[in-house]
């Protein structure tokens, strides 16, 4: 979809793409290394900034319309008395989602990405100056609705939460393994619709997730009725506390995708040169 549209070019990272080629000695490099390396470096700075204030940052990812904003609305209603929350909204266009969050009485910052179908660390860095992190315990980043690209970009957050709504089919983890492998928690949303669907099995969806060698919790819930919300809210509350303790010990945590990123860098790519005669 985005190979020709330049979806990856955002206001935040554009400057990285058109720098003149480096002329230093050849080093062993993985292809993904360079662009994501810039992203990952910025993500690291973002994370250090969040950690300095003890803020837990959670990245919500799903296909468009799986219920990310509805989940945030329900979550804020239940938690805002006890936990200070803020939200960064990523969408291609409109302030609609940020407006929905502000209506719940918590600060929301909208990033409109234009053509870019994911957020990246530079875009997040761009809104950081507007955030009063000392007034926040928990920051949600609602990524652009997309089951492909967001999985590859570390934003400087701590946890990935991937939503799968029951109208999308229970085999999504098998179809989008890169996204679902990145999940630190998987939520099955809109379960109030299950009676109307004869072919979505929560057990099958969980089984597809397990087949990715993922042991993460799979929690079914409905933001509409509130069913299952308690388990999600408990998970969140535990994560907030765990993060405060981590930060006190000068430690932090990276989302699951980042482990893979590190692996790429640990690999020793082989570059060999075979000069061939001019034809």
Partner 1 sequence: MHELSLCQDLLEQVTAIAQTHKADTVVRIIVWIGPLSGVEPLLLKSAFDLIRAGGVADQAELVLQNQAVKVVCSDCGMASEATANNLLCRHCGSGHTRLIGGDELILARVELAGVA
Ligand X SMILES: Nc1nc2c(ncn2[C@@H]2O[C@H](COP(=O)(O)OP(=O)(O)OP(=O)(O)O)[C@@H](O)[C@H]2O)c(=O)[nH]1
Q: Report 69-108 residues binding partner 1 (CB under 8 A).
A: none
Minimum CB distance to Mg ion smaller for 69 or for 223: 69
Determine the residue with CB nearest Mg ion: 69
Question: At 46, phi and psi to the nearest 5?
Answer: -60, -45
CB of 74 to ligand X, least distance (A): 8
Tally the residues of the chain: 279
- Give the pair of three-digit tokens for residue 144: 């652009």
Instruction: Round to whole Å and give the CA distance between 156 and 108.
Output: 18
Using CB under 5 A, which of 60, 79, 85, 97 touches Mg ion? 97
Among the listed residues 139, 113, 110, 114, the one whose alpha carbon sits nearest the alpha carbon of residue 127 = 110
Using CB under 8 A, which of 121, 123, 151, 187 touches partner 1? 151
List interacting residues with ligand X (CB under 6 A): 62, 64-70, 91, 97, 145, 189-190, 192-193, 222-224
203 binds partner 1 (CB under 8 A): no
CB of 90 to partner 1, least distance (A): 15
Instruction: Round to whole Å and give the CA distance between 101 and 119.
Output: 18
**What DSSP assignment string belongs to 104-119?**
TTS-EEEEE-TT-SS-
CB of 202 to partner 1, least distance (A): 18
Using CB under 8 A, which of 26, 203, 249, 266 touches partner 1? 26
List the single partner that 215 binds among partner 1, Mg ion, ligand X, none, CB under 5 to 8 Å by kind. Answer: partner 1
Among the listed residues 261, 187, 248, 176, the one whose alpha carbon sits nearest the alpha carbon of residue 212 = 176
161 binds partner 1 (CB under 8 A): no
Contacts of 160 (CB under 8 A, 6+ apart): 58, 59, 61, 151, 182, 183, 184, 185, 255, 256, 257
Minimum CB distance to partner 1 smaller for 8 or for 160: 8
CB of 24 to partner 1, least distance (A): 7
List the single partner that 174 binds among Mg ion, partner 1, ligand X, none, CB under 5 to 8 Å by kind. Answer: partner 1
- Cβ(163)–Cβ(192) below 8 Å: no
138 binds partner 1 (CB under 8 A): no
Among the listed residues 266, 271, 272, 273, the one whose alpha carbon sits nearest the alpha carbon of residue 33 = 266
What residues are paired with 186 via a beta bridge?
A: 162, 218
- Cβ(83)–Cβ(52) below 8 Å: no
Using CB under 5 A, which of 10, 13, 59, 68 touches Mg ion? 68
- Cβ(66)–Cβ(222) below 8 Å: no
List the single partner that 212 binds among Mg ion, ligand X, partner 1, none, CB under 5 to 8 Å by kind. Answer: partner 1
Q: Which residues make up the interface to partner 1 (CB under 8 A)? A: 1-9, 13, 17-19, 21-26, 29-35, 117-118, 148-149, 151-152, 173-175, 177-178, 181, 208, 210-215, 260, 263-264, 267, 269-279
């Amino acid at each position: 979809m985005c190979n020709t549209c330049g979806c990856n070019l955002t206001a935040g990272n554009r400057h990285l793409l058109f720098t003149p080629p480096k002329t230093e000695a050849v080093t062993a490099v993985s292809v993904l290394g360079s662009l994501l390396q810039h992203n990952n470096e910025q993500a690291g700075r973002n994370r250090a900034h969040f950690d300095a204030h003890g803020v837990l940052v959670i990245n919500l990812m799903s296909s468009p319309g799986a219920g990310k904003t509805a989940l945030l609305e329900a979550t804020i209603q239940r938690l805002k008395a006890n936990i200070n929350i803020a939200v960064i909204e990523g969408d291609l266009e409109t302030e609609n989602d940020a407006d929905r969050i502000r209506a719940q009485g918590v600060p929301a910052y909208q990033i409109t990405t234009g053509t870019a179908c994911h957020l990246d660390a530079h875009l997040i860095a761009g809104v950081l100056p507007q955030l009063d992190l000392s007034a926040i315990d928990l920051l949600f980043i609602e990524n652009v609705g997309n089951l492909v690209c967001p999985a590859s970009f570390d934003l400087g957050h701590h946890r990935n939460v991937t939503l799968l709504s029951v109208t999308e089919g229970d085999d999504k983890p098998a179809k989008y393994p890169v996204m679902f492998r990145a999940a630190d928690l998987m939520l099955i949303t809109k379960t109030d619709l299950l009676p109307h669907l004869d072919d979505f099995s929560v057990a099958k969806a969980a089984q597809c997730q397990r087949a990715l060698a993922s042991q993460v919790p799979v929690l079914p819930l409905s933001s509409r009725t509130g069913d299952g919300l308690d388990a999600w809210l408990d998970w969140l509350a535990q994560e907030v506390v765990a993060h405060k303790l981590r930060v006190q010990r000068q430690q932090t945590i990276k989302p699951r995708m980042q482990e893979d990123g590190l692996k790429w860098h640990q690999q020793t790519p082989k570059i060999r040169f075979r000069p061939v005669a001019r034809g």
